[in-house]
């Protein structure tokens, strides 16, 4: 591939052309910038029916699209998001973040890895697969949102609610999140930990530092409880998940004055938990510790997602087989990392995995992906389809 910063689309593979077209659209959460319409136009000629689903709440309006071909089971779904995180100061980028640039074998631009590259690979894999298997078994769909990088309240979660209400069941779902580390396909995420957040308010009594007997310092009151929370072994994990972890992310108290005891302490913390736990058990145990220390507190809980696991299954087997066939190496199954929209899909009973490009530059300045990796990824996706949905 030529070492050039100027992209001539006609000289690129179909996958890279589409990825470049998507990157050029500044679809910062929750904007879609008509990326989904571009996908619809590309797939409708293959027999996909496009259903645009628009939802709104106090965070804003979100565009989603459900593209389906066929009405038989089993149903295979590619899931992803057209929204990207903000670029930050553009002067810090080597090349403008929304001007797709080919440089030293890399496709550069915001969303290249997370996850417009994967979406392009979805589409081109489908184009080849359907050309070769127009009468494939089952059905294929894409679930694409513009709300994955944001609050995730009007995106995949809402689409899944609509599908469930009309009994449209997903059997297999591949989420195109950037799962790979050093080479494309080396890691397949076959599960994710649950995420439970807490905003904790501890009430004290404000006063002068010279008269502590007339005040109650909530920082001092909370310190022994925090020490106990940090020391707890919540579980030992299992063969698929590491032990549950507890982390404090923010602590705030005081007015800024050096001679005042604060009246209120605000703490934000998070559990990343395994299938050995439930959010109910964690809440109960957490509150029992606070109660033992006689704290005057209030908690707002936020369940970001339940843990899920797709262990031995047709989808895992088909994906491992595809990576070995295309890349020549055995992928590792992993549940490490944060959350994804798979957390909304797995509770329906679907088998869910995540497979996408290397994640070393996601959410960073100069986000990029090896150009050849996108073509490899598209081939892997096509092979998964062939493994699961052969011609009738």
- Which residues carry out catalysis? 83, 148
Bridge partner list, 192: 308
- List, in order, residues 6 or more apart from 296 with CB less than 8 Å away: 202, 203, 204
Sheet arrangement for strand 368-370 = 101-103, 106-108, 368-370
Distance (Å, whole) CA 38 – CA 307: 33
Give SS3 for 19.
Answer: helix
Instruction: State how far the Cα of 147 lies from the Cα of 215, in Å rounded to an integer.
Output: 46
Q: Residue 266 class from Cβ within 10 Å (0-12 exposed, 13-18 middle, 19+ buried)?
A: middle
Alpha carbons within 13 A on the beta-carbon side of 165: 6
What separation in angstroms does the CA of 90 have from each of 32, 75, 94, 115, 199? 20, 41, 9, 20, 34
Cis peptide before 43 (omega within 30 of 0): no
Query: Are the C-beta atoms of residues 284 and 316 closer than 8 Å to each other?
Result: no
348: which DSSP letter?
Answer: G
Say if CB 117 and CB 107 are below 8 A apart: yes
Supply 133's token pair. Answer: 């298997």
Cis peptide before 312, with omega less than 30 degrees from 0? no
Q: How far apart are CA 335 and CA 274, in angstroms?
A: 9
């Amino acid at each position: 591939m030529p070492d050039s910063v100027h992209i001539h689309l006609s000289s690129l593979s179909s996958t890279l052309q589409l990825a470049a077209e998507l990157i050029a659209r500044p679809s910062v959460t929750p904007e879609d910038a008509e990326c989904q319409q571009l996908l619809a136009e590309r797939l409708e000629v293959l027999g996909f029916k496009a259903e645009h689903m628009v939802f709104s709440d106090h965070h804003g309006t979100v565009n989603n699209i459900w593209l389906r071909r066929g009405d038989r089971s089993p149903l295979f779904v590619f899931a992803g998001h057209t929204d990207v995180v903000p670029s930050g100061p553009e002067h810090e980028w080597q090349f403008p973040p929304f001007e797709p640039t080919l440089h030293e074998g890399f496709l550069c631009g915001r969303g290249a890895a997370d996850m417009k590259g994967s979406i392009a690979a979805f589409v081109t894999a489908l184009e080849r697969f359907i050309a070769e298997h127009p009468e494939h078994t089952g059905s294929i769909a894409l679930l694409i949102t513009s709300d994955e990088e944001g609050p995730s309240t009007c995106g995949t979660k809402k689409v899944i609610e609509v599908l469930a209400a009309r009994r449209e069941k997903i059997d297999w779902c591949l989420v195109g999140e950037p799962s790979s580390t050093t080479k494309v396909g080396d890691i397949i995420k076959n599960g994710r930990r649950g995420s439970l957040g807490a905003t904790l308010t501890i009430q004290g009594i404000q006063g002068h530092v010279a008269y502590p007997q007339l005040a109650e310092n909530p920082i001092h009151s909370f310190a022994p409880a925090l020490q106990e929370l940090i020391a707890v072994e919540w579980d030992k994990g299992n063969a698929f998940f590491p032990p549950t972890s507890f982390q404090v992310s923010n602590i705030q108290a005081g007015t800024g004055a050096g001679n005042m005891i604060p009246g209120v302490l605000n703490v934000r913390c998070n559990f990343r938990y395994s299938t050995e736990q439930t959010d109910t058990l964690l809440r109960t145990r957490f509150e029992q510790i606070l109660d033992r220390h006689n704290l005057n507190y209030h908690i707002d809980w936020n369940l970001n997602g339940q843990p899920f696991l797709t262990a031995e299954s047709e989808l895992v087997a088909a994906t491992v087989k595809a990576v070995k066939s295309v890349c020549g190496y055995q992928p590792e199954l992993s549940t490490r990392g944060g959350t994804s929209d798979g957390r909304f899909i797995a509770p329906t009973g679907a088998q869910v995995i995540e497979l996408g490009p290397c994640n070393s530059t996601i959410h960073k300045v100069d986000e990029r992906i090896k150009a050849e990796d996108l073509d490899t990824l598209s081939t892997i996706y096509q092979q998964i389809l062939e493994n699961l949905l052969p011609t009738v």
